[in-house]
Amino acid sequence: MAFAGKVWKLLVGIKDGLSLLFLLLFFSLLFGLLSARPSPAQVRDGALLLDLSGVVVEEKSVVDPLQVFMSGQQPVTEHTAREVVHALEEAATDERINSVVLDLSRFIGGGHVHMQAIAEAIDVVRKAEKPVFTYAMGYADDGLMLASHASEVWLNPLGGAVVAGPGGSRLYFGELLQNLDINARVYKVGTYKSAVEPYILDGMSAEARENAESLLGALWEEWQANVKKARPDLDIDRVTKNTVEWVEASQGDLAKAALEAGLVDKLGTYEEFGERVAEVAGEDTFNEEPGAFAHTELGPWLADKPFDSEGDAIGVVTIAGVIVDGMEGPGTAGGERIAGLLNDALDDDLKALVVRVDSPGGSVLGSEEIRLAILRHKAKGIPIVVSMANVAASGGYWVSTPADRIFAEPETVTGSIGIFAVIPTFERAAAEWGVNGDGVRTTPLSGQPDLVDGFTPEVDAILQSSIEDGYADFLSRVSEARNLTTAQVDAIGQGRVWDGGTARQIGLVDQYGDIDEALAYAAEKAGLADGEWHANYLASGPDQYDTLLRGLLGGESEAKAPKQGDMFAMVASRQQGLLRQAHQDLELLLGTKGMQAYCLECPVSPNAELAAEPRKGWLASMLASFAR
């Protein structure tokens, strides 16, 4: 009896200890939530400091705490282009802000359209006669586009600036898979649908090369035109066409070479940079560290300058990232999740719907689920407008077909009208190891699909027919939406990718314009005058608990992307990018995601990775393909 009493006391003690622990955790989280939220009271006279550590995205991704804890790495900071642009435009008209500072020391990059939008907002600040300063250890293409619009561009004397231009190589696994006796079974429609080529070839096909040269050439011309207009004295030809001569003229000093070519204006440490900014912004009375200047950070500024919420609501649904089946996202376009957002909004009194697309496509079934949800809003008789960001290709174009009008930028990548699927089988590898399949079939489909023994000709034919049917569906949707014949769509389809300028000429896009112009058009069609409406983003971005988690993990404030290093560090970074690309390609091969409307050639945001949906058995995925 005494022993039982001791056990009972032990259990009660454990219970009380756990209760106390959970209470402490609860109040710690509550305190973190309240203290992590930026306050308008933190706004001060001086400069608006935009520390663009990390990446600029269309939609912030959610943080998976388990993945973070398992990896031991903090999430990379993300900034939505919409918030950065809004912050800059508000700074142009607020008397408390006398200058803007862009700290690009840890800036990784963002899409071309996002960079263009931020650059235009910088121009707005400068037209208000407020100087804009930028600082970095190293500048690459995206950072240089932003810096070219600034009043003063500063570079660390040990840093450098490099203009690489779009493009590069990717990995091809055709010979490797043959050597491993893996049969990558490819089912596709589209002469230019090159997403499957890495699994069957050792290099680009002539058609893929032709398409890539045309697309990347157009994007490169747009980048140069933008930068040259902002900085006419910049000698881009010398930097890009005579690179070795340009660097050797400065005895290998990349910072000095950047200064002489006009890529930057001044060389100096961050302390020297801060002292220069303080001449305009004023001294920081709260911080006595060298180089400190009076400033307001992005979080408090946005808290003080919320987005307009007056008037009738125009809904905005964001389709950002690879389109997958299921509830993934934000940051990944989970078809079920986005369709759910749209279905929930059917009861809202939305006067119009703007579909913001920044996706290279992905799952056909996920794309169709989103398209049908958009059509439910269209059935209510409200205007449907699509606004394309950096990429709206393949499945990203599929979801755009319900639009009454499509807006895009000249730098937008779109098209890629095509369908494919890749399924690996291992009959050759099995035979090499002495494993052979044998049995009795009552029909050609008995025991199929067979991972080890391979597919029968009938299965191959059925799968290819399913892909061709999917392509026919794609053509018919585009044909109906764009008032073109299916033959005309097929001629500009075949998986070919187009820049926004060409897409407008061939009828895939209606007009140039950003998200604001798309919203204004939707409001006009809904009969709403200026000041009578606001944009209502449908659950766009992480909620407050995700923001708290980022803060607790250091993702929002303390966790920074690594500072830019020298040229050797940039080479190492490129190597890491190549490894990530290889991982993505193999995930696409082995992930068994069913039919794909995905654009391989499309540039993606620096933080974008191929979405890894919960792994279904490959038999289930095959059956999904049959069921289509």
**Which residues are known to be catalytic?**
193, 394
Query: Closest Cα partner for 184 from 427, 360, 446?
Result: 427
Q: End-to-end alpha-carbon separation of the chain, Å?
A: 67
Tell me which residue has tokens 């033959």.
487
Burial class (CB in 10 A: 0-12, 13-18, 19+), 315: buried
Q: What is the CA radius of gyration of the chain?
A: 27
Query: Closest Cα partner for 400 from 350, 361, 344, 349?
Result: 361
Q: Output DSSP code: residue 305.
A: S
Query: Does the bond joining 232 to the residue before it have cis omega, within 30 degrees of 0?
Result: no
Residue 229 tokens read as 């207009």
**Phi/psi at 268 (5° precision):** 180, 160
| Contacts (Cβ under 8 Å, ≥6 apart) of 511 | 405, 406, 407, 504
Q: How many CA atoms lie within 13 A of 47 on its CB side?
A: 27
d(CA 554, CA 455): 50
- The CA dihedral of 79, 281, 42, 306, to the nearest 10 degrees, is -50
**Phi/psi at 64 (5° precision):** -90, 105
Bridge-based pairing of strands 107-109 and 54-57 is parallel
Cα of 81 vs its chain's centroid, Å = 11
Residue 36 tokens read as 């992590």
d(CA 350, CA 325): 26
Run of H or E including 5: helix 2-36
Backbone torsion region of residue 41, taken as left when φ is above 0, otherwise alpha when ψ lies between -120 and 50, otherwise beta: alpha
Collapsing DSSP to helix, strand or coil, 373 comes out as: helix
